[in-house]
C-alpha cells in the first residue's frame, strides 16, 4: 500500500463524498512549490519596497533640490539688494562728501605749541567773543558749500581740538554721521560745531575759554580718515568759517 495522504471532500447538499489521495512525493513537491512561491513573494515584496524607497528618496531629493534652488535664488536676490544698498550708500556718501575725506597727513603738532598759543591768546582777547580761532592745525581739505555746511580740516589722529572762542558747552555726545561731537554756544548769536572727534575732554553745560582743548582729532561717525568737521553758526544758521579765521589762514600761507 502506497504511503500518502487521503483527503475526503463531502458535499453538504447531496451528502456525497469524494476521496483524493496524495502520495508523499506529490505532497513534498507541493510543499516545495509553496515554499518557492513564498520565497519569491517575499523577495518581490522586499525588492518592491527597495525600489519604492529609492523612488521616494528620489522624489525627496528632487524636492530638496527645488528648495535649494529657491533658497539660492533668494540669496542671489539678497546679494543684488545688498549691491543696490551699497550703491545707494555710495551715493549718500557722495552727497555727504565722505568719500572726499582726505588721507592722513604728517603730524603738525602733538599739543598746542607756543606760536599757536599766541595766536589763540590774541583771538581770545576780543571782547565780542566771536569764534575766530582755527580749532586745530592742519590742512583745510574741504571748503564751505551749500551742501557742506562747514570746513574739513585734515590733521593727525589724537591732535588737540580747541574751542574757537569762549562759551558754554551746549552739547557733547555721539551722532551717527559726525561721531563724537561738541557744540559750544559763545553768545546769543554764535555757536560752533566740532565733529568726528576721537575723544571728548569737556562735559555738557560747562564753561570753556577760547583755545581750551575740547578733545582730539579722530575718524568717528561716517568718516574714512582722521579730520575735523568744523562749523560756525550765526543765529543757528551755518556760515562759512573761513571768514572768521584771517590770522590762521595767513599762518598757513
Residues 6+ apart with CB under 8 A from 168: 184, 185, 205, 206, 207, 208
Domain that holds residue 46: 7-96
In this structure, the answer to whether residues 203 and 135 fall within a common structural domain is yes
Residue 203, classed as helix, strand or coil, is coil
Report in angstroms the alpha-carbon separations of 82 from 16, 71, 77, 87, 88.
Answer: 93, 16, 9, 8, 10
Domains of the chain: total: 2
In this structure, the answer to whether residues 142 and 215 fall within a common structural domain is yes
More confident residue, 123 or 16: 16
pLDDT of amino acid 153: 93
Percent of the chain with pLDDT over 70: 75
pLDDT tens digits, 54-74? 888 888 888 888 888 888 888
Residue 109 covered by a domain: no
Give the DSSP letter string of 104-168. P-----SS--HHHHHHHHHHHT-TT----S-SSSSEEEE---SSS-SEEEE--TT-EEE-SSSEE
Residue 214 covered by a domain: yes
- What is the rounded CA–CA span in Å between residue 141 and residue 101? 7
Q: Is the dihedral of CA 121, 123, 125, 131 positive or negative?
A: negative
Neighbours of 189 (CB within 10 A): 13
pLDDT of residue 44 exceeding 60, the answer is yes
Quote the cell numbers at residue 190: 554764535
pTM more than 0.85 = no
pLDDT of amino acid 193: 97
In this structure, the answer to whether residues 170 and 218 fall within a common structural domain is yes
In this structure, the answer to whether residues 122 and 65 fall within a common structural domain is no
In this structure, the answer to whether residues 242 and 123 fall within a common structural domain is yes
Give the DSSP letter string of 21-78. EEEHHHHHHHHHHHHHHHHHHHHHHHHHHHHHHHHHHHHHHHHHHHHHHHHHHHHHHH
- φ, ψ of residue 83 to 5 degrees: the values are -65, -40
Residue 249, classed as helix, strand or coil, is helix
Q: Are 115 and 82 in contact (CB under 8 A)?
A: no
pLDDT interval class at 229 (50, 70, 90)? very high
In this structure, the answer to whether residues 133 and 239 fall within a common structural domain is yes
Amino acid at each position: 500500500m502506497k504511503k500518502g495522504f487521503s483527503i475526503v471532500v463531502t458535499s453538504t447538499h447531496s451528502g456525497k463524498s469524494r476521496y483524493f489521495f496524495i502520495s508523499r512525493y506529490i505532497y513534498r513537491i507541493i510543499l516545495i512549490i509553496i515554499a518557492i512561491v513564498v520565497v519569491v513573494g517575499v523577495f518581490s515584496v522586499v525588492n518592491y519596497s527597495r525600489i519604492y524607497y529609492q523612488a521616494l528618496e528620489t522624489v525627496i531629493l528632487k524636492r530638496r533640490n527645488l528648495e535649494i534652488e529657491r533658497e539660492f535664488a533668494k540669496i542671489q536676490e539678497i546679494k543684488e539688494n545688498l549691491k543696490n544698498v551699497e550703491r545707494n550708500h555710495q551715493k549718500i556718501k557722495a552727497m555727504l562728501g565722505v568719500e572726499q575725506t582726505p588721507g592722513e597727513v604728517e603730524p603738525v603738532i602733538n599739543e598746542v605749541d607756543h606760536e599757536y598759543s599766541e595766536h589763540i591768546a590774541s583771538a581770545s582777547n576780543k571782547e565780542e567773543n566771536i569764534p575766530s580761532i582755527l580749532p586745530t592745525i592742519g590742512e583745510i581739505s574741504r571748503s564751505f558749500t551749500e551742501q557742506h555746511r562747514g570746513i574739513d580740516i585734515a590733521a593727525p589722529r589724537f591732535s588737540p581740538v580747541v574751542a574757537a572762542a569762549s562759551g558754554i558747552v551746549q552739547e557733547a555726545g555721539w551722532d551717527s554721521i559726525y561721531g563724537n561731537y561738541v557744540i559750544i554756544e559763545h553768545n546769543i548769536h554764535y555757536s560752533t560745531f566740532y565733529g568726528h572727534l576721537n575723544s571728548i575732554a569737556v562735559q555738557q553745560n560747562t564753561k570753556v575759554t577760547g583755545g581750551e582743548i575740547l578733545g582730539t582729532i579722530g575718524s568717528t561717525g561716517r568718516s574714512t580718515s582722521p579730520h575735523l568737521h568744523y562749523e560756525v553758526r550765526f543765529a543757528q544758521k551755518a556760515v562759512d568759517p573761513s571768514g572768521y579765521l584771517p590770522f590762521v589762514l595767513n599762518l598757513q600761507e
